[in-house]
Amino acid sequence: GSQGPVVVIIGAGISGIAAAGKLSKHGFRRIKVLEATGRTGGRIRTERFAKGLVEIGAQWIHGPSPGNPVFQLASQFGLLGPDALLEENQKINSDGHPPSIPVAYSSSGRKIDPEVMTNITELYNTWLAQTRNFTNGDCDPEGSVGKFIREKIVHSSQEWDKEQVEMNMAILRGLLNIECCVSAAHSMDQVALCPFGEYTMLPGLDCTFPKGFESLVNHMKAPLPNGTVLLNKAVKSIHWNGSFPGSNSHVYPVQVQCEDGDSFVADHVIVTVPLGFLKKRSVDFFSPPLPPSKTQAIKNLGFGTNNKIVLEFEKPFWDSNTTMIQIVWEGESPLTEPKKDLKQNWMKKLPIFVVLEPPEQMGHVLCGFIAGEQSEYMETLTDEEILSAMTDLFRKFTGNPELPPPISMVRSQWHSQPYTGGSYSYVAVGSSGIDVDNLAEPLPTDKEVLKLQVLFAGEATERNFYSTTHGALMSGWREAQRLIDRYSDLGVTVSKAKL
C-alpha cells in the first residue's frame, strides 16, 4: 500500500510497545497493537498499596548500567531516583545476588546467628557461580543446577560439625527456594545446567522505579499515534501463508482473528504473547500449524511461576536497617523434595521477604516471594486464608504468639492469568539456548518468497536476557529492526514510500 506495510503486534507488554515505538519512529504508519486484557504493561504492573505503590510483576531493573536499555530509557525519562544514577552504582557487580545477607528467622522462633548465615550463603554463592561455567558444552546434557548444587552440598557437609548439619541444611533449602523464585522454576532440578551461564548479568546495583515500573511503559507508549493500541482485543488465531483481501484491493499474507469476531489483515504480525500462553494455546493458535522447531521449543523451554505476597503491618517487627527477612524451616533439607501435602505445607516454600522502602512513603510493608507448585496452589486460596497462614507464620518465626496480623495484603496470581499462564521462562533440562533462538525465528522458516509473515518477540525469545524486562524490550526492538532492515533492503524507506 502507499502508506507502507501493515504490522499487527499481538500483546501490549513492554516488548510489544517497544516494537510499536521503534517502527513508528522509523516511519511505519500502519501499526496496530492488539492486547487481550484491559491494560497495557503485561507483566509490568504497578498497583496502589498501603501508603504507596507495589509491583505485582517486575520489580527491579536487573543490572542498571548503560548496556541495559530499560535503564537507558528510565534515565532518559527521568524515572529513577538519585542513587540509581550514580556512576559508582552502575559499576557494582552483584552477580544477580543481594548485596547484603538477610536477617534470618528459624521456625523455632529465633534469629539465626548472622555469622552462620554469612558462611553458608557465601558457600552457596560460590557453588552457584560455578553453575555458570558450563556454556562451553563440557557438561552432562541431562545435568541440572539443582543436582550440581546438591552434589556440592553432600560433599561439603562431610566437613561440618555434627550439631550444625541440620541448621546448615535448612538454610541451604531456603537458598534453593530463593533460587526457584529467581528462575520461576518449581525445583532447580528442572533448570538445565549446561546453558545456565548463557543468561547474562549486567553490572549495576538493582534499583526500582519510585513512580512504579509501569511509569516506564506509560512513557514508552505516549508517542504512539492515538488508536494504535486496542485493549480488550484477545487474538484467537493467526492465519499465515494465505492471501487475504484488504479494503484497499491489496492482498495480505496474514489474517489475525480475535475472540470478539473482529479480524485484521497484515503484511507482518509480531507475536509477543508469553511462552505460558503458547504452551497452552499454540496448537490451535496458528494455521497452518507451527513447524517442529517451534513446537519443540515451546514444549521444551521452561515457563514457571513466581508470585508475590505483599503484607502491610501496622508496626514493623523488624529493625529499621533490615532490608530482607529470610525464613528458615528447621528440619527441611535441600537433599529431599519438600513435602507434598500442599494444604498443610505450601507456605514452607516461601523463603524470603523483602522490606519495601522507604517506610515513610510506603508504610511497613514486606514483599514475600514463592515459586513453583506451592505458588500455584497459593493462587487458589482466598485472601483470608493467606492472611491467616501468614499471621501464623510470623508468630511462629518471631516467637511472638501475640504478633498482630498484617493489616492488608495483596498477592499476584500469574499462573491463573489466562493470557500469561505463569511468570517467566527458564531453560529447562532437555532444552538449550538453541530452543530460545528457534522460538525467535520468524515464519516462514524455509526460503519462501514472502518472508517475515509472523515474527516472535517477548522475554522468552532473548537467549541471554530471558526472564527480564530488558530482555523483553530488546526482543521488541530486535523484531522491529528486522522489519526496518527488510524495507531498507528494498531501497525504499517506509517514510519515503509514504511521500
Cβ closer to ligand 6YU: 71 or 346?
71
Other C-beta atoms within 10 Å of 447: how many?
Answer: 6
Per DSSP bridges, beta strands 235-239 and 302-304 are unpaired
Q: How far is the CB of 263 from ligand 6YU (least distance, A)?
A: 13
34 binds ligand 6YU (CB under 6 A): yes
Cβ closer to ligand 6YU: 14 or 50?
14
Among positions 4, 5, 42, 444, the unique one binding ligand 6YU when judged by CB under 6 A: 42
Q: How far is the CB of 49 from ligand 6YU (least distance, A)?
A: 15
Among positions 4, 5, 13, 444, the unique one binding ligand 6YU when judged by CB under 6 A: 13
14 binds ligand 6YU (CB under 6 A): yes
Q: How far is the CB of 150 from ligand 6YU (least distance, A)?
A: 17
146 binds ligand 6YU (CB under 6 A): no
420 binds ligand 6YU (CB under 6 A): yes
Cβ closer to ligand 6YU: 182 or 494?
182
Cβ closer to ligand 6YU: 4 or 102?
102
68 binds ligand 6YU (CB under 6 A): no
Number of shown-chain residues binding ligand 6YU (CB under 6 A)? 45
144 binds ligand 6YU (CB under 6 A): no
Among positions 424, 456, 477, 487, the unique one binding ligand 6YU when judged by CB under 6 A: 424
271 binds ligand 6YU (CB under 6 A): no
Among positions 306, 375, 431, 438, the unique one binding ligand 6YU when judged by CB under 6 A: 306
Contact segment (CB under 6 A) with ligand 6YU among 51-59, 97-105, 311-319, 346-354 equals 51-59
Residue that is written with C-alpha cell 504508519 in the block: 29
Q: Scanning residues 71 to 90, which ones bind ligand 6YU (CB under 6 A)? A: none
Residues within the interface to ligand 6YU (CB under 6 A): 10-16, 34-37, 42-44, 57-60, 62, 96, 182-183, 196, 199, 234-235, 272-274, 277, 306, 308, 412, 414, 419-420, 423-424, 458-459, 467-470, 472
